[in-house]
Amino acid sequence: MYKENNKGYTMTEVISVLAIIGMLMSSMAMLISSLFDKYKKNQVQDQLLTIEKRINQRYVADKNYTGIDVAELIEEQVFPKDVVNGDKVVNVYGDVEIVGYETTYTIQFTGIPLTACVALGVMGWVNTDSTDLVSLTINGTKYTWPYKGKQTDDTSLPLDAGRLAQKCTRLNNTMMWEFQ
């Protein structure tokens, strides 16, 4: 029975409003999470390029990377503050390891999730006589530029998103770039 002096909402109306609010909150949380993931992907790409650029600038004179000393580079403030955590170099997802050899050096990132693995793998590396990138290793598989006149194969650079999606795992990927 309907009474004219009823003031308020029925239980169905209250539940409907709460359901709508819940869906909006869920959508907002997913959007914020997606934006944060995109921010972290962009930041880790910037961190890789910055580390590579700063090491090249530091060792440009002799092009001998054997003596790369991360502690010394941190002390000299070669790296930006967002990649330094105490006496370690880090990225937004995990640790960074830098190792120097005579004519090349490697930068290794650990803890990289799938979407960032794909984004880092398809970065705009180009094969020219002056390219700095020698190879990219993802979870133990090494990818290199094909030699002039050699046919490309499954381990040739550049990588496309399809091959990366197959090689990168959902969580905790290890990626290592070798530069000259």
Beta strands per DSSP E along 101-154:
105-112, 133-138, 141-144
Best CA proximity match to 135, nearest among 94, 172, 91, 179:
179
Question: Distance of alpha carbon 158 from its chain centroid, rounded?
Answer: 17
CATH homologous superfamily of domain 11-179?
A: TcpA-like pilin (3.30.1690.10)
Q: What is the pLDDT of residues 144-166, one digit of tens each?
A: 988 766 666 788 888 888 888 88
Continuous H helices in 59-154:
70-75, 114-121
Quick check: pTM over 0.85? no
Cβ burial of 12 (10 Å; 0-12, 13-18, 19+) is exposed
Encoded tokens for 58? 């530091």
Q: What is the pLDDT of residues 72-127, one digit of tens each?
A: 889 988 888 889 999 999 999 999 999 999 989 999 999 999 999 999 998 877 65
Per-domain residue ranges for the chain? 11-179
